[in-house]
Chain A
Amino acid sequence: MREDVVSSGLRVEGLSVEYAAKRGLGRTRGDTHKALADVGFILPTGQTLGVVGESGSGKTTLGHAVLRMTPVSRGRILWDGVDLATLSDRDLRPYRRQMQLVFQDPYEAMNPRMSIGRIIAEPLLLAYGLDRHARREQALRLLKQVGLDESLLGRRPRALSGGQRQRVTLARALATAPRLLVLDEPTSGLDVSLQARVLNLLRDLQTDKGLSYLFISHDLAAVAYIAQRLLVLFQGRVMEQGPTDALLRHPAHPYTAALLAAQPSAVPGRAPKDPAPAMNPVADPVPGACVYYQWCGKALPRCRMEAPDLTSLGADHLVACHYPGHETTSIH
């Protein structure tokens, strides 16, 4: 990766998150579950990186790890050149304000006993210690920013609709004037019409404030709408990353291709279906093989013997596959 690209912004290198696999009698030594293995990316200021993957791919863990909300096992999280992964909790505090998380389930992310006003004002109290009057004023401003009416201020979260809730959590995340937002499936629970509104709002906010987004989603179309770059995760490993356009037009990794084929893209009428590869869960990973080996429709003997490294296809396009974009008959 080019060193000069990022002096400001986020740069993640070799990020790994491992959990001790717990079984019955406490921890068994050496038995770790790799939630993330050696993930790296660059997110320049004002841009959006889309993280795509299925459940269990580690995309939520990635979002949490970047914010140090989950313990990081290895790797560097460089924010304006400062490695956040090595900072103590206290040293981390000033940085926490600059990066906020928007949770997947907005209802869970709000204390049900608090009013919307208090929820939005909470970070103002915690980060700046503003007085009641100033907090109210700021809360009103934030509400307006996300297109909500001030009459909501006294309501409880449960009196709001799904779309309103998501915008409230967005307003709260914006309270500390962050520069980076980690958006964890911000639209997955929303109806179509509301989803469009949130996506548009996110775009506008980015243009207005020069925010960077780490946009996590399983919906490739939503990601494509908002992200300049994409990162495809499978079982905690990067399969492919690159500029959105290039990646979607010429997916190099078979997994990306499969995801793309499975997208319910708006094809009028009964388009001939690309059969998605058989994703039967296989009990144990084959040691030493490519993690996608058992699922891959294009696997060749080499894929079983040797896990591919992330290699460049040029123009910032990286892929972890021995035969990127390769058309052959599979051994399966």
Chain B
Amino acid sequence: MTKALLWRLGNSLLSLALLVTLVFFMIYATPGGPAYSILGVHATPAGVAALNRQMGLDHPVWRQYLTWWDHLAHGNLGYSFTQHAPVADLIGSYLHNTLLLDAVAAAAAIMLAIVLGLAQGARARSLGRIIGAGQIIGYSLPTFFVGTVLILVFAADLAWLPPGGLGDTARSAGLASLWRHLALPAVTLALPLAAGLSRYFGHQVRDEYRQDYVRAARSRGLSALRIAFRHVLRNAVRPLVTVIGMMIPSLVVGGVLTESVFNYPGLGWLLWRSALEQDYPTLTAIVLLIGVLTILGNLAADLVNTLLDVRVRYD
């Protein structure tokens, strides 16, 4: 078991190294290179050359690559010329906001998914059909559309909740204000997640119900509730851990769109702004960070799964 854990850890480290390399070549392959975008319309060949020299971009590839690693190792993610701040400093607070939003949305989505999935799997014919229709609609709804509509209804028309941002005073104004600011983005983000997760979980529950052991339990006179909670649920939740790990990319994608709609100062919003402003150092750093978080998330899910369940069923 220790070996299995080490094996997974090694795999993840390899993925991380590959990721860093991949991102490096993504920037390296940028047509014109970063100097052009930094200088923008003022770019002259001489200016570009000077900046390239200044940033070490005239060195051979391998040297740039090593420098890239060196900088990363020292936590140096570059300097944002549009925001006039080191990228590492910039990212910190945005990351914090994003993690907050993601955590709230993910928690809501998971809880909803378990309830819906259990109901769907246990009552595949009647209720399951209705929930199934809701799910397919739920994850077909584009996040940015839902967000816009929510703003329109709850912020513009009803004026119940703020239309976006986190409000400069959000933190100082206390938890209530924070929740009010979080409500709409969190709902927007959680909706497609809950739809996808509950569908997966519902199938899982339904498959468990088809297993022999459920009928065997019935043949021993166990009640439906007992079978559902003591036997079926236990088996159906296990794969959910993996799925929650795999949920991270959807969370990020949804997050970028949600944060843009609501002007929520998170990583996704920053990614969007820096893409529009062609702020490559920031853009690169965020892509890298998201990749790292995803890999770590999957690793965490793997580890939890390994700890929970070392056996291989039905082999």
Contacts and interface: CB of A to CB of B under 8 A. Distances in A.
A and B touch in the complex (CB under 8 A): yes
Interface of A: 23-26
Contacts of A25: 3, 6-7, 10
B27 interface: no
A25 B10 CA distance: 9
Interface in B1-59: 1-4, 6-7, 10
B299 to A, nearest CB: 15
- Per DSSP, are chain A's interface residues mostly helix, strand or loop, or mixed? loop
Instruction: Please classify how large the interface on chain B is, using the bins under 10, 10 to 19, 20 to 34, 35 or more.
Output: under 10
A24 B306 CA distance: 12
Contacts of A23: 3
Contacts of B7: 24-26
A9 B1 CA distance: 48
Interchain residue pairs A-B with the least CB separation, the first 4: A24-B3, A24-B4, A25-B7, A24-B7
A227 B230 CA distance: 51
A24 to B, nearest CB: 3
Given A24-B6, A24-B7, A25-B10, 9 more contacts: A23-B3, A24-B1, A24-B2, A24-B3, A24-B4, A25-B3, A25-B6, A25-B7, A26-B7
B303 to A, nearest CB: 14
A275 B139 CA distance: 62
- Per DSSP, are chain B's interface residues mostly helix, strand or loop, or mixed? helix
A249 to B, nearest CB: 40
A23 B4 CA distance: 8
Nearest to A26: B7
B95 to A, nearest CB: 34
12 contacts: A23-B3, A24-B1, A24-B2, A24-B3, A24-B4, A24-B6, A24-B7, A25-B3, A25-B6, A25-B7, A25-B10, A26-B7
Contacts of B2: 24
Contacts of B3: 23-25
B14 to A, nearest CB: 13
A25 B4 CA distance: 7
A24 B6 CA distance: 8
A316 to B, nearest CB: 39
Nearest to A23: B3
B135 to A, nearest CB: 30
A165 to B, nearest CB: 24
Nearest to B1: A24
Contacts of A26: 7
A26 B3 CA distance: 10
A23 B2 CA distance: 11
A26 B237 CA distance: 29
Nearest to B10: A25
A90 B6 CA distance: 41
Interface in B47-96: none
Contacts of B6: 24-25
A26 B7 CA distance: 8
Contacts of A24: 1-4, 6-7
A95 B2 CA distance: 46
A22 B94 CA distance: 45
B107 to A, nearest CB: 33
B13 to A, nearest CB: 13
A22 to B, nearest CB: 11
A117 to B, nearest CB: 35
Interface string B118-150: 000000000000000000000000000000000
A26 B14 CA distance: 15
A305 B284 CA distance: 68
Contacts of B1: 24
A23 B6 CA distance: 12
A26 B11 CA distance: 12
A73 to B, nearest CB: 24
Nearest to A24: B3
A25 B2 CA distance: 10
B311 to A, nearest CB: 15
Nearest to B3: A24
A37 B96 CA distance: 61
